[in-house]
Amino acid sequence: MFAGPVCHFELVRIARRGRTFAVRFAFGLFLLGAVGLNYSVHSGPGRPWYSPGDLTISEMSELSEALFLSFMATLLVLVLGLTPGLVADAIATERQSKTLHYLLASRLSSAEIILGKLFARLINVGVFPVLVLPVVSLLTLLGGVSPPALVLGYTALGATAYFLAGLALLVSVLTRRAREAVGIAYMLTAAWLFVPPFLQALLQAASPPWTEVAHWILFAGAWAGPPTPLGFLTDASATLGGGSQQLAAHVAWMAGMQVVYGTLFVLLAAWQLRPAFRRHEGRAERRGKAARFAQTWFPLRPCGDDPVFWKEAYFAVRAGGLSRNLARAGVFGLLALVLAGALYGSADAFRELWQHGYGFGDFNIYQSRMGLNFALRYGTPVLFVVWMLWLGGVTAAGISSEREQDTWISLLSTPLEAGEILRGKMLGPLRATAHFGVVIVALWIIGLLAGAVHPLGLLNALVVAGLYAAFMIALGTYASFKCQSTWRARLWTQGLLVGPHVCCLLPLPSAGLLLGVSLWSYAEINELWNAKLETVLGNFGPFSLAVVWYFGGLVLYGGAAYFLASALYRQFDRVAGRPQQGPRTDVVLKEWKGNTDSAVADDAVG
């Protein structure tokens, strides 16, 4: 059968290596929570969610429509978040484990290898929509959801998954390492989702001299570019008045374009599979002009006495091809734009500070600085969460990638102690991704200089950021040490970061919420300082809950970081199978020399 052996082998290997029972269980709990939340909202006016009363026909129709939209949104987020990570390491993992040689030497063609990998990974992604399909199909019997709407929703999901899988598979063929392929696939997915709507908004706001050019660019992008789900949602909301036929036309256009681009990516991946393998195998002997120029003008820092930290902080950053260098340049450019935009947007706050000085006197003279404080509270947590996702992904691949590249045994056989290895694996990724932290702290300092952030708020935010960064470093290193594969370690690390943010039933102390609350302004410090004792005692219940929630989150993350790091240092030699280190050589020689000198002295006295 066409692409059968590779697909069958890939499914068996994934079933044995990556059991997804926990992910399916969490997915089921999330859907159950969505059902309960929608039922509580649409259970009728004045009726509690636990009331056993019957629903009217209109209420049942509204509940069915709300459940359908919730399920489709959840499945879309799952497809967007799961597909690049599951598909991007399909070929890169074979290259790292030195098994791609055998696949290419077999009778299988490049198309059979690529299609087998593609179908196997898509089957794993399609498990989740298939699990929800019986429940969503029953919603058509309650009204509010028609069978054509169900077909359109699943068609859009399938086309999006196929497009992202083809893109991630092409990235996996062209890149050298699995973690590099996963990172680039996620960055390209984010760019595909958010860059076109942003450019569309900019082009629509063009001034009259550029209106015609912007119109032609929008026209070409609408006909030539692959439509995004965000663009489809805006088009669908604008054309709902046209009826179901116009909505079906939009879905058909989006799905058709995504299938065309996905097929093009798959064909390119099959065409470049063997040439890319030859380029990667002969890459060590060739160095281009760009590499020689970079080494001449930007020499690599000497290794020094900490080789593991040097490798993770400096050498791993320089590694990578053109795609990784372009991605790195794009990140630096984006951070520079964020800083420039913050400086430009804080002009009114600095002007207000120049007129009224530091401190808080009245809300009428603190509006611009309060607006800057709100912008920092909503903007920097998003940037911080992105940084933690990147930091968690890099730390989660620190030890597991050594196993996948067959360099873990060589590292354990060196004279390096457990503390030196773990310190390099923990602090190296922090140094490699420190530019995110520098930009975040620079934004906070801008707010401090403009009078929008109180010094206590800045100190508080630094403590929160430091504790959570320590937690992510310890968690990623612990998961990388315990898990045998990089993708599983990243799943645990980044899943525990994303989980509190997507939970809508409980206000868990997530990184974004803690960081947003911690950036106190002069107005809040003034109100808290001048608050009367009767007011505080009157609101003692909510105030105490807020204090317990805030400081409990800090204690939770700080304690988890301490215990995970302690467990790593205690269990390293035993779990890694490394023999316990005996007494150091210089101590043994000193003791032997002392015993020899005493024996010679005794012989002389005798």
The predicted model scores a pTM of 0.61
Q: Is it the case that residue 64 has pLDDT exceeding 60?
A: yes
What is the model's pLDDT at position 473? 93
**Among the listed residues 173, 175, 158, 234, the one whose alpha carbon sits nearest the alpha carbon of residue 201:** 234
How many C-beta atoms lie closer than 10 Å to residue 291's C-beta? 11
User: Residue 106: what are its φ and ψ, rounded to 5°?
Assistant: -80, 180
Nearest CA-CA partner of 451 in 583, 542, 346, 334? 346
Structural domain contains residue 457: yes
Please tell me the predicted confidence (pLDDT) of residue 544. 67
Is 23 a member of any domain? Answer: yes
Which residues constitute the domain of residue 132? Answer: 4-185+248-282
Q: How many Å apart are CA 572 and CA 515, to the nearest integer? A: 33
361: in domain: yes
* Reported confidence tier of residue 585, pLDDT bands at 50, 70, 90: very low
Judged by DSSP in three states, 512 sits in helix
For residue 565, the model assigns a pLDDT of 92
Residue 203 belongs to some domain of the structure: no
The phi-psi region of residue 506 (left if phi > 0; otherwise alpha if psi is between -120 and 50; otherwise beta) is: beta
Structural domain includes residue 477: yes
157: tokens are 């999901």
Indicate if 264 and 321 belong to the same structural domain: no
Examine the domain organization and report whether 261 and 341 are in the same domain: no
Instruction: Say which amino acid occupies 562.
Output: Y
Paired tokens of 96: 């790292």
Kindly list the distances between the CA atom of residue 534 and the CA atoms of 524, 543, 544, 545, 577, in Å, as whole numbers in the listed order: 18, 13, 15, 18, 62
How many structural domains does the chain have?
Answer: 2
Distance, CA of 384 to CA of 46 (rounded, Å): 41
- Whether residue 514 contacts residue 468, with contact meaning beta carbons closer than 8 Å, is answered with yes
pLDDT digits (tens, 9 = 90+) for 250-277: 788 888 888 999 999 999 999 988 888 8
Distance CA 129, CA 23 (A): 13
Report if residue 222 sits inside a domain.
no
- Assess whether 179 and 120 both reside in one domain: yes
Examine residue 181 and state whether it is found in any structural domain, yes or no. yes
- Asked if 67 and 34 touch (Cβ cutoff 8 Å), the reply is yes
Instruction: Tell me how far the alpha carbon of residue 147 is from its chain's centroid.
Output: 35
Average pLDDT over residues 391-413: 84
The pLDDT confidence band at residue 462, using thresholds 50, 70 and 90, is very high
Q: Are 259 and 313 found together in one domain?
A: no
Q: What would the pLDDT profile of 307-331 be if each residue is shown by its tens digit?
A: 888 888 777 655 555 555 666 676 7
Residue 402, pLDDT score: 84
Query: By mean pLDDT, which of 109-118, 157-166, 381-390, 585-594 is the weakest?
Result: 585-594
238 has pLDDT over 50: no
Determine the straight-line distance between the first and last CA of the chain, rounded to whole angstroms. 91
Structure tokens at 463: 């403590």
302 within a domain of the structure (yes/no) = no
Compute the 3-state secondary structure of the chain and give helix, strand, coil in percent, each to the nearest 5.
80, 0, 20
Give the span between the Cα atoms of 177 and 104, in whole angstroms: 18
Residue 364 and residue 312 share a domain: yes
- For 453-497, give the secondary structure using H, E and C: CCHHHHHHHHHHHHHHHHHHHHHHHHHHHHCCCHHHHHHHHHHHH
Give the model's pLDDT for residue 561. Answer: 92
Task: Name the most confidently modeled range: 38-47, 190-199, 284-293, 433-442.
Answer: 433-442
Q: What is the pLDDT of residue 239?
A: 40
pLDDT at 293: 54
Better-scored residue on pLDDT, 524 or 220:
524
- Give yes or no: residues 260 and 399 share one domain: no
Give the pLDDT score at 333.
72
Q: How far apart are CA 501 and CA 515, in angstroms?
A: 13
Q: Are residues 275 and 372 in the same domain?
A: no
Report pLDDT digits (tens) over 144-170.
Answer: 778 888 888 888 888 999 999 999 999
| Residues 52 and 112 both lie in one domain | yes
Say whether 418 sits in a helix, a strand or coil.
Answer: helix
In the predicted model, is pLDDT for residue 429 greater than 80?
Answer: yes
